[in-house]
Amino acid sequence: LLAGSWEDRSDTIDVRDPYDNSIIDTVPSATVDDVEIALSAAAAAADTARKLTTYERAQILFRTAAIVDANLEGFARTIAREGSKTIREARKEASRCVNTLTVSGEEAKRLTGETIAVDSFPGGEQRRGHYDRVPIGVVLAITPFNDPLNVVAHKLGPAIAGGNAVILKPATVTPLSALKLTEALLEAGLPGDVLQTVTGHGSVLGDVLVADPRVRMVSFTGGVEAGERIMGKVGLKKVGMELGSNSPVIVWHDADLDWAVETCVSGAFWAAGQNCIGVQRIYIHRDVFEVFRDRFVKHTTAYRIGDKLDETTDMGPMITQSEAERVERWIQDARAKGATVLSGGGRDGALVQPTVLENVPADATLHSEEVFGPTVNLYPVDDLDEALEKANSINFGLHAAGFSRDLETAYRMAEGLDAGGVMINDSTDYRLDSMPFGGIKNSGLGREGIRFSLQEMTEPKVVCWYLPGV
């Protein structure tokens, strides 16, 4: 969608279902010339976006939410077909998208400034002051493959609520959900030139998009490598970086073990482990290590993997066969360094079995890097200081989690785990879309979560009045 019209290009990109590699659709492969059209159109439309009243912005977002809600199954099938999620996982993402858009509309109405006590310092006599929050202008949204609808909504919702024009560049492997959401926004009344949706390769379009001074904020969700490259190119503009992680969980001897197992299995294998807050390392008190491990393995081996559209499937394939081969190599590397595979470990095409390991050494990639695949490491620990130190030893910090029935132990976990969010008695995979969301260390910069994105995507504008007659 460029300058308000749907464009085709002779150069196209095949969108494939990773389960059977079949082609679902094709999308235009945008060029650097298309990027220039998008940038000029967005810059020109910033005024249109700014002039939409708060009521109009909110109504557009509420109507878009209603359109997604009315077509929930269609959105879910698109997510499930182009990506890795099972149909049940995809339905959850689609319904979260409805919430993200609805809350964006609500937050549009709560975007206010404050009065300023300009008379609080000598020289402020006969002066008054206040500030409003004004749109930043053009927001560039770059999104990953693993939540192809809701992460897009997390950027478009607040950007529109804040009165901005937006350029969206979705992941090349999963552009269809983003295009469907673009259609819904237009149907809901968003002026066509306020949003440009550009499908094409980040490696070709990325530098030109992020470096352009007409873009006032880059809101990026993706991996550390692309994030660092963008930081090096972006110049003088705002940046939001939602990057990866390697999430730790601590399970104490007094925890509800059945619940901890159930929720951590789901947290480890949701979306075939391609989840920025997926469980990757679990530190378990030695007194309950064997009980926890055996129940965890039993639960994991019961997982059904396969066809994503089958209602009974628990876990689908990874996004591509080459990503599955990478995870297989990392499992082999851990094994060669002394790890034991307790369950899974195999691969068939893009399908990697849900894999549980123990004795994974610190120099194994599976321990120290973000796996972004369906593997989880179990480690016994003897005391809480040791557990916290080991949990915090990796250079990521998006979500962390701790399980204990003892208030003081749980409190020490909440305080001692270094992360943007700590979940107590839940896996790291718990997220409410309206809570502040983002990471420390290599997990990113800034926070999303609608209200928080809206602050990032707007700027305070101060107005001071000197009124000698007042």
> Which residues are known to be catalytic?
242, 276
Which SS3 state, helix, strand or coil, does residue 383 take? Answer: coil
Structure tokens at 138: 């053009």
Structure tokens at 429: 């995979």
160 binds ligand NAP, rule: CB under 6 A: no
Q: Which residue, 398, 129, 110, is CA-closest to 244? A: 398
- Positions 242 through 271 that interact with ligand NAP (CB under 6 A): 242-244
* C-beta separation of 269 from 373 below 8 A: no
- Positions 270 through 309 that interact with ligand NAP (CB under 6 A): 276
Distance CA 126, CA 118 (A): 9
* Sheet hosting strand 458-466, strand order edge to edge: 114-116, 127-135, 458-466
324 binds ligand NAP, rule: CB under 6 A: no
Contacting ligand NAP (CB under 6 A), which of 289, 296, 330, 372?
Answer: 372
230 binds ligand NAP, rule: CB under 6 A: yes
151 binds ligand NAP, rule: CB under 6 A: yes
Q: Which one of 200-208, 285-293, 324-332, 357-365 is the stretch in contact with ligand NAP (CB under 6 A)?
A: 200-208
Could you tell me the smallest distance in angstroms from the CB atom of residue 399 to ligand NAP? 9
216 binds ligand NAP, rule: CB under 6 A: no
Nearer of residues 64 and 221 to ligand NAP, judged by Cβ:
221
Could you tell me the smallest distance in angstroms from the CB atom of residue 175 to ligand NAP? 9
Instruction: Give 449-465 as a DSSP string.
Output: STHHHHHHTEEEEEEEE
Residue type at 54 in one-letter notation = T
* C-beta separation of 449 from 242 below 8 A: no
Nearer of residues 65 and 243 to ligand NAP, judged by Cβ:
243
CB under 8 Å to 347, separation ≥6 — which residues? 324, 325, 327, 328, 353
Could you give the residue ranges of the DSSP H alpha helices within 359-457? 365-368, 384-391, 407-416, 451-456
217 binds ligand NAP, rule: CB under 6 A: no
Contacting ligand NAP (CB under 6 A), which of 35, 68, 160, 171?
Answer: 171
229 binds ligand NAP, rule: CB under 6 A: yes
Could you tell me the smallest distance in angstroms from the CB atom of residue 120 to ligand NAP? 39
CB under 8 Å to 375, separation ≥6 — which residues? 268, 273, 280, 327, 330, 331, 344, 352, 354, 355, 356, 357, 366
DSSP state of 100: H
Contacting ligand NAP (CB under 6 A), which of 203, 301, 340, 393?
Answer: 203
Q: Residue count at the site for ligand NAP (CB under 6 A)?
A: 30
Q: Which residue, 313, 324, 327, is CA-closest to 348? A: 324
Nearer of residues 84 and 409 to ligand NAP, judged by Cβ:
84
Type and span of the H or E element at 26: strand 23-28
Could you tell me the smallest distance in angstroms from the CB atom of residue 373 to ligand NAP? 11
Contacting ligand NAP (CB under 6 A), which of 51, 109, 110, 201?
Answer: 201
Q: Which residue, 169, 145, 173, 174, is CA-closest to 156? A: 169
Residue type at 31 in one-letter notation = T
b/e per residue, 61-71, with b = 16+ CB within 10 A? bbbbbebbbee
Contacting ligand NAP (CB under 6 A), which of 17, 93, 107, 147?
Answer: 147
452 binds ligand NAP, rule: CB under 6 A: no
Contacting ligand NAP (CB under 6 A), which of 166, 167, 198, 210?
Answer: 210
Q: Which residues pair with 131 in a beta bridge?
A: 114, 462
Nearer of residues 5 and 322 to ligand NAP, judged by Cβ:
322
Q: Which one of 115-123, 203-211, 327-335, 350-358 is the stretch in contact with ligand NAP (CB under 6 A)?
A: 203-211
Kindly list the residues in this chain that would bind ligand NAP in the complex (CB under 6 A). 142-147, 151, 169-172, 201-203, 206, 210, 221-223, 226, 229-230, 242-244, 276, 370, 372, 398, 444
